[in-house]
Amino acid sequence: PCSPAQKLVFNRVNGKRPQVLLPHSLAPEESYTAAHEENVRFVYEAWQEVEQQLDDGQRGESTHGPVQYVEKNPNPRLKTFVPIDLEDWWAQQFLAKIENCS
């Protein structure tokens, strides 16, 4: 399977400014704690189970399980609503600040 495109992630540690980003080939490998990996695995596996149950319910194989909420009378003003991608927005803000400083 193809891996998704990499996204910039901005984390501040103790309010300190993040380190300068290095090109991918020069950047050290990211390391995650065992607890972080366990949390990610738990959420991923739980979500996969929910998606499987939703699929089973749509095929009529299950009468119990999660129910997907669908608005019966959607607000017509929300027809063109597009949710914002916060990671992309923060990345754009960060890059704009870098460009303004140079």
The per-residue pLDDT for range 15-72, each reduced to its tens digit, is: 555 555 555 555 456 788 999 999 999 999 999 998 888 888 777 766 677 777 888 8
pLDDT at 9: 56
For the chain, domain boundaries: 34-59+72-100
Tokens of 9: 């992630």
pTM (2 decimals)? 0.38
More confident residue, 19 or 93: 93
Tokens of 47: 């979500």
CA proximity to 50, closest of 69, 70, 67: 67
Helix-strand-coil split of the chain, %, nearest 5 = 45, 0, 55
Tokens of 96: 């704009």
CA dihedral for 12, 18, 36, 45, sign (positive or negative): positive
pLDDT at 10: 55
